[in-house]
Amino acid sequence: MALSASLYLRQSQSLVMTPQLMQSIQLLQMTHLELNQFIAQEVEKNPLLEFQAGDEMITAQDRSAGEDPSPVSGETGPDEVAGQGDLYDSATSSPGERLSEQLDADFANVFPDDTPPQRADAPELLGQWKSMPGSGEGEGSEEYDLDDFVASRKTLRDVLLEQLPLALAAPGDRLIAQHLIDQLDAAGYLNADLAETAASLGTTSDDVMRVLLSLQQFDPPGVFARTLSECLAIQLRARDRLDPAMEALIDNLELLARRDFASLKKICGVDEEDLVDMLAEIRKLDPKPGTSFETSVTEAIVPDIIVRSGPDGGWLVELNPDALPRVLVNHDYFAAISRGTQKNSADQAFLSDCLQNANWLTRSLDQRARTIMKVASEIVRQQDAFLVNGVDHLRPLNLRMVADAIKMHESTVSRVTSNKYMLTPRGLFELKYFFTVSIGSAENGDAHSAESVRHRIRTMIQQESAEAVLSDDDIVDLLKRAGVDIARRTVAKYREAMNIPSSVQRRREKRALAKAAGF
């Protein structure tokens, strides 16, 4: 058989993940914070992109030295709202100036006889204020930020170091104390081995323990404890309430967690009335004394979708403009720069790539917005009963149902619903909240969602009395009468997931509270 080379013409189809397609997929699952960061990076790299957030605009002209900003025109992204004149005017005048012109609020002539601010009694202070970076005066200054004038919060370490010189005088003891302070966790507990600490500092364990006992008297009460029992004991000792019965109680916190009040009465040697008083004293203590000095900033969730009641009785679904950036492609700037780079092929290629990437980004953002709207609108349509009547009417829903309704793939719906939030008249919910497991009906009716069943179980337990505490079997029977076919193990799983104790523990606690209240 002879071997020879030959040519064949073959046609085939294949799916290729281009960088632009991967970028579109990544944009789809980004939160609005991640999206703003990504857009800001793209604006820095691409001179044809303009990103506006609020009243601040970064333009290509601003980044070009020696050129004055000019009005912007060109292609817009998905987040541009009606009234483009306001967007363009923001490049030439501040919002305060435009508002003053509209309202005729020129305060220069209100008090014409008053002394101007620059003639104050302390002109040097005025000069210092004008020279500050955030004063808004002078060349190159920026608007001041009120956060710059807010006093910083003290951390737990700062509070403890302030008390250290008043409690320990010896330099060696202070060195040990600083080492122990650095080993505290966020809750104020000491997670360190005293023997290892003593060995690392070249001292004895007795010296470390002596310093630790002094540190345990610091504020807030309960810091430098090594266990929960020790933390409660420190606080009770500071209140002069650490008697033998209370010591026995905090040494058996596992019985308290199980609501085994009968065993606690025997161990502590008290009657039921005294035990109730002791439990009330325990509830007043702080199990994590260091958390009051938590320095992390709580960030508010900005909804991506806003749902409101419509005039015709339906629902209005719209994108939240605060969660979406405004992106523009400056074609005028591209045309002006292209005229100066016609003889340089490298510059022309660079500008062409920038224009292509900018157009692709705006199209991707537009597609992202449209996809979010499609998914959110379908969720609102499917969960109309929930929006009207509450969580009891939450329908079972999965990704496939939404994907089939809007003619998209399940993976696309999954990316859209990740870390996206919807503001409804019922509250703020993550989009994934509306996707729940289906639980069958006991009467061959409509299925029930797992979230609505959990809500029913929680409501039943909250309404029970001390004489009629519901067991898991009782809850199963009540749910079956209401048309919910559910197994006992499923009820127990839901109850434990909601941190609800068993019927035995609830009965003990309710009876103790009822007797303490005098019933």
d(CA 508, CA 174): 48
What pTM did the predictor assign? 0.57
Average pLDDT, the chain: 77
Residues linked to residue 189 through DSSP beta bridges, in sequence order: 225
Take residue 88 and report the two structure tokens written for it: 């363009």
Please report the pLDDT score of residue 142 as a whole number: 52
Checking if the pLDDT of 68 tops 50, the result is no
The answer to whether the beta carbons of residues 416 and 375 sit under 8 Å apart is yes
The region of weakest confidence among 73-87, 214-228, 318-332, 407-421 is 73-87
pLDDT band per the 50, 70, 90 thresholds, residue 256: confident
Take residue 269 and report the two structure tokens written for it: 């040697």
Site of tokens 């023997």 = 195
CB atoms within 10 A of CB 399: 19
Largest Cα–Cα distance of the chain, in whole Å? 111
Q: Report which of 412, 416, 361, 321 is spatially closest to residue 29, judged by C-alpha positions.
A: 416
Q: Which of 98-102, 272-276, 414-418 has the highest mean predicted lDDT (pLDDT)?
A: 414-418
Per-residue pLDDT of 89-133, as tens digits, reads 333 344 444 444 444 444 444 444 444 444 444 444 445 544 554
Checking if the pLDDT of 288 tops 80, the result is yes
Please report the pLDDT score of residue 66 as a whole number: 37
CA torsion sign, 277 to 279 to 283 to 289? positive
- Torsion, Cα 200 201 207 209, to 10 degrees, reads -50
Which amino acid, residue 201? L
Which amino acid, residue 97? E
Cis peptide bond upstream of 220, omega within 30: yes
The answer to whether the beta carbons of residues 252 and 245 sit under 8 Å apart is no
Size of the chain in residues? 519
Q: Which is higher by pLDDT, 144 or 14?
A: 14
Residues linked to residue 190 through DSSP beta bridges, in sequence order: 184
Please report the pLDDT score of residue 25 as a whole number: 82
- How far CA 248 is from CA of 242, 266, 283, 504, in Å, comes to 10, 10, 16, 23
Phi, psi of 76 (to 5 degrees): -110, 155
Element (H, E) at 53: strand 49-53
The answer to whether the beta carbons of residues 190 and 201 sit under 8 Å apart is no
In angstroms, the first-to-last Cα distance of the chain is: 104
pLDDT band per the 50, 70, 90 thresholds, residue 274: confident
Instruction: Please provide the DSSP assignment of 83-143 as one string.
Output: -HHHHHHTTTS-HHHHHHHHHT--GGGTSTTSPPGGGSS-HHHHHHHHHSTTSS-STT---
Per-residue pLDDT of 504-515, as tens digits, reads 778 877 776 666
Please report the pLDDT score of residue 279 as a whole number: 87
The answer to whether the beta carbons of residues 235 and 253 sit under 8 Å apart is no
Beta strands in 238-325 (DSSP E): 305-309, 315-319
pLDDT band per the 50, 70, 90 thresholds, residue 7: confident
Instruction: Please provide the DSSP assignment of 151-166 as one string.
Output: PPPPPHHHHHHHHHHH
Average pLDDT of the residues in 140-167: 72
Residues linked to residue 51 through DSSP beta bridges, in sequence order: 58, 327
Average pLDDT of the residues in 359-372: 89
Checking if the pLDDT of 270 tops 60, the result is yes
Instruction: Tell me the domains of the chain and their CATH numbers.
Output: 158-293 (no CATH), 305-436 (no CATH), 448-518 (1.10.10)
Relative to beta strand 49-53, strand 56-58 is: antiparallel
Q: Report which of 182, 252, 188, 199 is spatially closest to residue 226, judged by C-alpha positions.
A: 188
Cis peptide bond upstream of 221, omega within 30: no
Which amino acid, residue 396? P
Phi, psi of 212 (to 5 degrees): -65, -40
Q: Report which of 439, 441, 452, 437 is spatially closest to residue 482, judged by C-alpha positions.
A: 441
d(CA 51, CA 326): 6
The answer to whether the beta carbons of residues 459 and 484 sit under 8 Å apart is no
Edge-to-edge, what's the strand order for the sheet holding 305-309? 315-319, 305-309, 421-424, 427-430
Checking if the pLDDT of 377 tops 90, the result is yes
